[in-house]
Structure 1
Amino acid sequence: MSAPAEQPRSAKPSRPAPVAPAMDLEALIEDPATRIVVCCGAGGVGKTTTSAALALAAAEAGRTVVVLTIDPARRLAQSLGLEELDNEPRRVDVPEAPGELHAMMLDMKRTFDDIVVAHSTPDRARQILENPFYQSLSSSFSGTQEYMAMEKLGQLRASDQWDLIIVDTPPSRSALDFLDAPNKMGRFLDGTMIRLLAGSGRAGLKFASAGFMFFSKIISKILGGQLLRDISAFVAALDTMFGGFRERATATYELLRRPGTWFVVVATPEPDALREASYFVDRLSAEGMPLAGLVVNRTHPPATTLLSATRAEGAAERVIEADAEGADLAAAALRVHAERMIQAAREQHLADRFTSAHPEVAVRTVPAAAGDVHDLDGLRVMAEELTGPDDDTPTGTPRTRILPARRA
């Protein structure tokens, strides 16, 4: 038996482009078993608009849905036909929708205040709410916004008034902050340092060791005597609430892992945003949390994929050389198409890198809108891009991609 002929190196086939699984968001939001959808990702990728569009699609599919957003921009309220959004759900008028849509914007401090009032006596609540250290903590402490978003989610789910809750997670430097927030808040409020600071104001420690008294004097000089007293009074007043903070943090975290909760990671076709999305996918997998998939938002698919950028540039040159009537306009159109193809190829390359690293993660691409979404019609257009059939696009390119996959 003769040895097989050696293939010439030039004939070596190229690797096929990775193809991600399709993400069926329509089935996800219509499924009665789906109770919570969390949209997460880096800041500035369109999480808020994605959340609102999914909520609108769910209401038009017959669900009773509330969307919890953290975006203070008035344009979101206006796009929903509301004057403003606040910490209480407001009904959105969606004509002829078989379901209901409610929307609210997280008020971090008010949510924290509500916790204090609900879990302490009136006198203790007044002491806490008037405490200067609490007022600073509840409005500006790192991680408070993320924790309060989780706290509000737990409250909405406990009320059982809505059969679907969609959460727009807070913008943060790291998408992981949302998952870390409950534990960070619990560790802060139950930490050794806080306990020591609280103890510095208690009579029971009047016989404390000389070492502790020396430590207390140093901290007092660093923080200032009044601030130290404010912290001590704050922690002493919160003492009975420590268990509640821990319990709710644990319960909310576990809520995210239960059947019926899904995470949708949102990114733009940019290196930093997709890198952040990759970190979040890895974290969700490590924590055993259910991932629906990745939405690649604000992509730039070309009007046609039949004409490559190189051929379009060449055709533009030939049109100019022909010097026929309308040549300048035709050449300009061809060059715009070439630029769009180059941009789409760059975006697809970045998306392919993500899929190569996470081949099991479903993907849905959403084209960039012509302008800001400013009304329900704009949200409805985005909702159709998010939930439409995978292969129903002008070019026939599946919604998992920006350009068709090149096969070997």
Structure 2
Amino acid sequence: MPVRTLLVTGAGGAGRTTVAAAVALAAARDGDRTLLLTRDADAAAHLLPAAAGAAGGTMADGLPRPAPVDGVDGVDGLYVAVVDTAASFRSGALDVQDRIGSLLSLLGAAPLDPEELTELPGADALALLRVLRQAGALGADSAWDLVVVDLPPVREAVALLALPEQLRRYLGRLLPADRQAARALRPVLAQLAGVPMPAEWAYEAAARADRELAAVQAVIDARGTSVAVVVEPGPAALRTLRTARTGLALYGHRPAGVVANRVLPAGSADPFLAGLSGQQQEHLKELADACAADGAELRETPHLGRAPHTPRDLLRLLDPAGPAGGGPVELGRPIGVGGPIGVGGPSAGAAAEPRPDPWTVQDRLADEGQFVWTLPLPGATREGLDLVRRGDELVVDAGGFRRIVPLPSALRRCTVAGAALRDDALQVRFTPDPGLWPR
């Protein structure tokens, strides 16, 4: 059965890790074998103390197998994995060094020892993607049904989800696969050009990297993958959600659910708390309108009056009445599992399939003499929106994000006639180029 994946992002300090842990715990309690991926070791040990220091076997590629957390308020089947950025970087760097060992010897370079290697900026993103690729690619052999990923804040999360596509494009430009056909001619070409040609190892490394990035992208783009955005109702909540909507849409995603965290109870006798609650309710209305426009579900989790300290606190976030009454927590399907947030939406067979491309081309040649390429960009405004045609690609800037996408084949023989932002969608008009379009 394909693994279902829930990606949890949101505003910094809004409680993303707490919500991700609560969803994972509730899903496991509901019978799903659940894996929680996080980079925050302290939070994982604090919220799920039974996971701290647990040891297990190993998975492929030398990654640690997450140890099951058993006996957490009677919940079995929960797995927690803290992504070890330093270990992942060392493993990857040593692997590359081994593959180009002959080149290093030829240059007279001394290989680096494992103790010398410290992770570089950006290594945490690559480490998380590496673990996500492995977790989502196991298919029927997977040890879990659901993977909950604790992502960084919205802007970093969108950049992380966009990274596989961007890196594959760079690899394709620097080491085009179609030029590998000239392998036998490389010595001759090197003599004629007077410069060395890329060695065989470079193409092999690029092909291997492309396969791994494609596997990550397949997990991100699968129907069984959904995104939840965590915000705390306040002045910045709507801005965070707008950024998430625009950035995710640029890469073909949308928030399937929004979690309004730390919601104060209404009707407090304390005037100060009543005033804060009233302000939150106003912001919740704005969030509800934005969610309705996307068809996303808005869920509220209560403010406990303190930071969650125990697994029972996590369950209380999703079922406030349960632990407070002292009895067993009777949870239905928790947020993000089997509901509109979309983790359990697709059937088992369809979960691994790619989601449909939301960027659609309408053929209006007969009536209007043009094609219209529609790019959904909810939350985007004209400020910061830019569009540039570059050869057979379209460069789109929106909300501080940029994506470069290849044009569909029919549009490559057209010229851009104009563009307009209407109803949360960018509509780009193309007219056939007389010099390229068949009569």
TM norm. shorter chain > 0.5: yes
Among residues 81, 96, 100, which one is paired with 2:77 in the alignment?
Answer: 100
**Residue identity opposite 2:11 in structure 1:** A
Change (3 A) 1:270 1:192: farther
Q: Among the aligned pairs, what percent are the same residue?
A: 23
- Residue equivalent to 2:310: 375
Change (3 A) 1:167 1:385: farther
Aligned equivalents of 2:281, 2:137: Cα separation in 1: 42
Change (3 A) 1:352 1:107: same
SS at match of 1:371: coil
SS at match of 1:379: helix
Higher relative contact order structure (alpha carbons within 8 Å, sequence separation ≥ 6) = 1
Is 1:60–2:29 an aligned residue pair? Answer: yes
Q: Between Structure 1 and Structure 2, which shows a larger proportion of helix residues?
A: 1
Q: State the Cα distance separating 1:257 from its structure 2 match.
A: 2.3
TM-score between both structures, scaled by the size of structure 1: 0.59
**Residue identity opposite 2:79 in structure 1:** H
1:111-133 CA-partner distances (Å, limit 9, x unpaired) = 2444456788567499799559x
1:336-394 CA-partner distances (Å, limit 9, x unpaired) = x222222122222223223333422210011222222222222222242599679xxxx
Aligned equivalents of 1:189, 1:357: Cα separation in 2: 38
Change (3 A) 1:190 1:71: farther
- Residue equivalent to 1:355: 288
Q: State the Cα distance separating 1:182 from its structure 2 match.
A: 2.2
Contact 2:38 2:44 in 1 (8 A): no
TM-score between both structures, scaled by the size of structure 2: 0.56
Contact 1:85 1:105 in 2 (8 A): no
1:296-326 CA-partner distances (Å, limit 9, x unpaired) = 111222245xxxxxxxxxxxxxxxxxxxxxx
Contact 1:34 1:262 in 2 (8 A): no
Change (3 A) 1:389 1:100: closer
Q: State the Cα distance separating 1:186 from its structure 2 match.
A: 4.3
Contact 1:147 1:182 in 2 (8 A): no
- Residue equivalent to 2:68: 91
Q: State the Cα distance separating 1:100 from its structure 2 match.
A: 0.5
Q: State the Cα distance separating 1:281 from its structure 2 match.
A: 2.3
Q: State the Cα distance separating 1:287 from its structure 2 match.
A: 3.6
- Residue equivalent to 2:144: 162
Among residues 262, 277, 285, which one is paired with 1:344 in the alignment?
Answer: 277
Change (3 A) 1:170 1:294: same
Identify unmatched segments of 5+ residues in structure 1.
1-31, 194-202, 213-234, 305-333, 391-408
Aligned equivalents of 1:43, 1:207: Cα separation in 2: 56
**Residue identity opposite 1:343 in structure 2:** L
**Residue identity opposite 1:375 in structure 2:** T
- Residue equivalent to 1:278: 242
Greater mean alpha carbon deviation, residues 243-252 or residues 50-59: 243-252
- Residue equivalent to 1:26: none
SS at match of 1:140: coil
Among residues 124, 142, 151, which one is paired with 1:145 in the alignment?
Answer: 124
Among residues 154, 179, 191, which one is paired with 2:161 in the alignment?
Answer: 179
After TM superposition, list the pairs within 5 Å mapping 1:11-90 onto structure 2.
35-73=4-42, 75-81=43-49, 82-84=51-53, 88=64, 89-90=66-67
Aligned equivalents of 2:31, 2:237: Cα separation in 1: 33
After TM superposition, list the pairs within 5 Å mapping 1:162-241 onto structure 2.
162-171=144-153, 173-186=155-168, 240-241=204-205
1:36-93 CA-partner distances (Å, limit 9, x unpaired) = 11111232211111111111111111111110011132x4313312434897312212
Contact 1:299 1:368 in 2 (8 A): yes
Aligned equivalents of 1:50, 1:379: Cα separation in 2: 8
Identify unmatched segments of 5+ residues in structure 2.
56-62, 176-186, 322-329, 334-439
Among residues 264, 268, 272, which one is paired with 2:228 in the alignment?
Answer: 264
Among residues 193, 215, 229, which one is paired with 1:251 in the alignment?
Answer: 215
Aligned equivalents of 2:99, 2:9: Cα separation in 1: 37
Aligned equivalents of 1:189, 1:288: Cα separation in 2: 22
Aligned equivalents of 1:288, 1:110: Cα separation in 2: 32
Q: Which has the larger radius of gyration?
A: 1
Give the CA RMSD over aligned residues: 4.3
SS at match of 2:41: coil
Change (3 A) 1:72 1:95: closer
SS at match of 2:236: helix
- Residue equivalent to 1:322: none
Contact 1:59 1:97 in 2 (8 A): no
Contact 1:63 1:99 in 2 (8 A): no
Contact 2:70 2:76 in 1 (8 A): no
Q: State the Cα distance separating 1:167 from its structure 2 match.
A: 0.5
SS at match of 1:94: coil
Contact 2:88 2:127 in 1 (8 A): yes
- Residue equivalent to 2:179: none
Q: Between Structure 1 and Structure 2, which shows a larger proportion of strand residues?
A: 2
Change (3 A) 1:95 1:294: closer
SS at match of 1:176: helix
Greater mean alpha carbon deviation, residues 245-254 or residues 291-300: 245-254
Change (3 A) 1:131 1:39: same
**Residue identity opposite 1:277 in structure 2:** L
- Residue equivalent to 1:393: none
Contact 2:232 2:262 in 1 (8 A): yes
- Residue equivalent to 1:398: none
Number of aligned positions between the proteins: 295
